[in-house]
Amino acid sequence: MHLIFSAWFYVWFLGGMFVNSLHIKEGMPHTLHERGNYSYLATPPSNQRALFEYAMNGLDMNFGPPFLACFDSPRYSAWYAVGLLARNEDDDAKVASKIIRDVIDFQYKDPSVLWFGTFKSHPDAPNPSPVYPPKIYGSYDSNQGLFVCTSWIIVMEEFQHLLEPNLVTLMKESMYNATVGDGYRVGGVDGDNLYPVYSNPWYMRVMAATYVGHMQSDANLTFWGNEWASQAIAEFDRFGTLSEFNSGTYSGVTLYALSLWGYMPKNSTIASRAKDIITKTWISIGNYYNPTLKTLGGPWDRTYGFDMKSYFGILGAQITGLIGGIQDGTAPIPSPLLGSEHYGDAAAVALIPLISKFHDPYVPASVLSRLTKMDSSGHTYFAQAVSPPFENPLYPRNYTSWTGNGLSAGGIQIDGREVGGAAINPTNFVPGVILWATGTGKTGWISHYATSSSISAVATSKNLTVSYPLPRRSARNRAIFRKSLGCISR
């Protein structure tokens, strides 16, 4: 039953691509004005172009009236609109313009509320009110404004000429409101967790404030863009790691945000460091990625799945853009992508190839080689990260891992304030995990579910040892769980 369903799905998807390519070939002749500039997609390298086309073919099928939207989401629709402008075939630019206007209709416009400037998560969500009590990430989501605003930086820089001037003006106002509204956020106040260690929205806020401050000549936003950049850099420089460390989704979002450095004023604080942070982040990704499993090994600070071939993670798209593998199925993204687990985020794939010119050159050759081929003997890796105020910088998280042929194991030592890491989410926080090739083409795993705020999970090439040290005041350390890798190593 399951097999039949997947086969049907696959045919449906291929059918979509077929229809789409016919559509392009048989398209009506256009005037130069209607066609706009076809050359944008000629610039990214072929792996990035293939990724873009693969994603857009899927998103085309997800997109449709009555609300001109992808996945019932203003944010994903905004991203798709950017992709349409990059593709700019047939009536793409016209549809994108309509989507952008619709998306702005779902932006909160009252500057006196805390959620000012962000976008509704769903078109049918009511406004927060006494009957739909205001709750961040509940009745409203402040990150939506950053997701949309940063993606429109690409439009301002690359595709403005495809839009009516009054729409460009409206977008600038929308980006300004999103950035000002983001400025209302303070970590630890009103239930907000936007501290510098919440790296993915934090780097988006840096880019939004830096860019919009310059675009709108708002010295205050420019000031805060540089200030927030300095705070982010200070966190990064503690251990040369992002505080949301090793995450198939959020490392991807942060790398997306960092790639926008190329559009920032040359003398902005973030423009001076983004390339270096991109490079260092990839050095750790290269040490966790297991090309024999085609997924990022653990442990993970925040994950939505364990095997990137069975759930979509934005980082999987970035790896695919670097090494290819859509045709032969070696790319670390689900195949088929359309309808896969966590598929909504695939709308980000419309953006990643467009800014790869500010990203791919900073991925070291040694990392590219680790993404494509396992080194003969496998490798261990050690890293540290810390997320104040959720942890004391004196007791950072320690990451140990083993990456070998058909096997990845990893552990985190954490002495935190909450159960589940800085995101306070034990479901997404995976302090100990072993992944292995089952021999059937699938990846198996066993993971440690956090129930304690103080955990010591240590991986070697031979074992993953989990214990529960008492929080710092005691040295007592009871080992209660040990998994030998001997029985599953290959």
Ligand X SMILES: *[C@@H]1O[C@H](CO)[C@@H](O)[C@H](O)[C@H]1NC(C)=O
181 binds ligand X (CB under 6 A): no
Residues 301-360 that bind ligand X (CB under 6 A): none
30 binds ligand X (CB under 6 A): no
61 half-sphere exposure, CB direction, 13 A CA radius: 20
Closest separation in Å from C-beta 414 to ligand X: 5
CA angle (244 as vertex; 242, 247 as ends), nearest 5: 105
DSSP 268: S
Closest separation in Å from C-beta 482 to ligand X: 6
Report the residue number, 7 or 470, with the smaller CB distance to ligand X: 470
Closest separation in Å from C-beta 319 to ligand X: 25
Asked if residues 69 and 77 have their Cβ atoms less than 8 Å apart, the reply is: yes
Q: Which of 59, 69, 347, 414 binds ligand X (CB under 6 A)?
A: 414
Closest separation in Å from C-beta 22 to ligand X: 26
465 binds ligand X (CB under 6 A): yes
Q: What is the DSSP string of 208-237?
A: HHHHHHHHTT-HHHHHHHHHHHHHHHHHHH
Q: Which of 460, 471, 488, 489 binds ligand X (CB under 6 A)?
A: 460
Closest separation in Å from C-beta 220 to ligand X: 4
Residues 84-113 that bind ligand X (CB under 6 A): 104, 107, 109, 111
> Which two structure tokens, joined as six digits, stand for 97?
């313009």
Query: Amino acid identity, residue 390?
Result: F
Nearest residue to ligand X by CB is 183
Asked if residues 242 and 254 have their Cβ atoms less than 8 Å apart, the reply is: yes
Question: 315: closest CA among 248, 391, 400, 231?
Answer: 248
413 binds ligand X (CB under 6 A): yes
Query: Amino acid identity, residue 210?
Result: T
Question: 432: closest CA among 406, 454, 401?
Answer: 401
Question: 199: closest CA among 135, 140, 247?
Answer: 247
DSSP 161: G
| C-alpha–C-alpha distance, residues 306 and 189, integer Å | 33
| C-alpha–C-alpha distance, residues 449 and 272, integer Å | 39
Report the residue number, 114 or 308, with the smaller CB distance to ligand X: 114
| C-alpha–C-alpha distance, residues 80 and 85, integer Å | 9
Report the residue number, 76 or 116, with the smaller CB distance to ligand X: 116
408 binds ligand X (CB under 6 A): no
Asked if residues 278 and 259 have their Cβ atoms less than 8 Å apart, the reply is: yes
Q: Which of 26, 33, 39, 365 binds ligand X (CB under 6 A)?
A: 39
Closest separation in Å from C-beta 90 to ligand X: 18
The site for ligand X, by CB under 6 A, has a size of 30
177 binds ligand X (CB under 6 A): yes
Chain center to CA of 247: 8
Residues 144-173 that bind ligand X (CB under 6 A): 161, 170, 173
Closest separation in Å from C-beta 441 to ligand X: 29
Report the residue number, 162 or 323, with the smaller CB distance to ligand X: 162
| C-alpha–C-alpha distance, residues 63 and 176, integer Å | 27
Report the residue number, 182 or 345, with the smaller CB distance to ligand X: 182
Q: Write down the residue that tokens 């934090």 correspond to.
A: 202
474 binds ligand X (CB under 6 A): no
Residues 258-277 that bind ligand X (CB under 6 A): 265, 267
| C-alpha–C-alpha distance, residues 308 and 314, integer Å | 9
37 binds ligand X (CB under 6 A): yes
Handedness of CA 279, 44, 14, 123 (dihedral sign): positive
220 binds ligand X (CB under 6 A): yes
Site string for ligand X, 365-404 (x = CB under 6 A): ------------------------------xxxx------
Residues that bind ligand X (CB under 6 A): 37, 39-40, 43, 104, 107, 109, 111, 161, 170, 173-174, 177, 183, 220, 224, 265, 267, 395-398, 413-415, 460, 462-463, 465, 482
